[in-house]
Amino acid sequence: MSVREWLGVYLRGAAMGAADAVPGVSGGTIALITGIYGRLVAAIASLDPRAALALLGPAVRSPFDADARATVRDELVRMEVPFLVVLGVGLLSAVITVANLVQYFLDAHPVATYAFFFGLVLASVLVLAGEVNLGTPRRVAVAAGGFVLAFLASGPAQSQLPTNPLVTFLVGALAICAMVLPGVSGSLILLTLGQYDRMTGAVHGTTAAVLAGDVGAATAAGATLVVFSLGAFVGLLTFARVVAWALEQYHAATLTFLVALMAGALRAPIRLSFADVGTLDAGVALAFLLPALVGVALIVALERVGGGVVLD
């Protein structure tokens, strides 16, 4: 690939990262719109830990053996590792930038920010609702189960989840599934589980500490991100494949469950928007409604640009 083509991959990754950092916007949707969704899913499917382990021998010999270097290079290209690395660098750079911006707005304008998230999620549910089929009692039960599960998970109890490394690892594994699902947001999963503000805070804290030259603070905040990233990597190799398999084998039921999850998760931005509001008056309602409408308009625009989001 040429430098221009690699730059295109990086910019697509950056667009995905910007989307993934905001609840309600899916990086998978951006991948679909920018034309790399099929390649991304295929690249994820081609990641094989056993093949990577088999490369250890040639990798050790590669500095001295031209054939070993060629073997390593060809196998990495076959597994689309260069593509995933460049895409990942773009995604990570955008996540860091947008997460810091979101953290500012969460601190300065929490009602408007969570209202914007609500609009994004609501519009995503409405866009995907056309793909849902409730034609059988089993699918109705699946939809009800997904809605109730997300509704309960996004209640006040979710803020009581422990902040230990195991929880951080698991939420990272769950959130990464959104990469293979257009319309489903990884950040929404974090928001539902009460981990979104914590993770954006970790990004902001690490960035601020690095810029200030505070190694101790950067290490402490960065440790959370490292554990989250490890969980995301494991999730990419496991959970994401399971979800992709379920969509292939049980498309209608899986999609119904996912959209119902998103609908139930709408409780989270509503609850968080008004958590610190004393009196609900016309001014507060307007402060919620306007950003929500902006969020709805953004998703509608993305859906039209992409010609519709269909999880086939």
What is the model's pLDDT at position 160? 65
Q: Is residue 281 part of a domain?
A: yes
| C-alpha to C-alpha distance for 209 and 203, rounded to whole angstroms | 10
- Number of folded domains in the chain? 1
User: Is the Cβ–Cβ distance between 235 and 175 less than 8 Å?
Assistant: yes
pLDDT at 159 over 70: no
Q: Is residue 312 part of a domain?
A: no
Name the pTM for this structure.
0.74
The per-residue pLDDT for range 253-302, each reduced to its tens digit, is 888 888 888 888 888 888 888 877 767 778 888 889 999 999 889 888 87
The per-residue pLDDT for range 19-75, each reduced to its tens digit, is 888 886 777 777 866 778 778 877 887 777 777 667 667 766 777 677 777 777 787
The per-residue pLDDT for range 177-212, each reduced to its tens digit, is 766 666 677 888 888 888 888 899 899 899 989 988
For 65, which DSSP code? -
Instruction: Spell out the alpha helix ranges (H) of the chain.
Output: 3-20, 27-33, 37-46, 49-54, 56-61, 66-78, 81-108, 110-129, 137-153, 165-175, 186-192, 196-212, 215-237, 239-249, 251-264, 267-273, 282-305
Q: Is residue 311 part of a domain?
A: no
Q: Where in the sequence is the domain holding 36, given as residue range(s)?
A: 3-305
What is the model's pLDDT at position 306? 55
Q: Is residue 224 part of a domain?
A: yes
Q: Is residue 310 part of a domain?
A: no
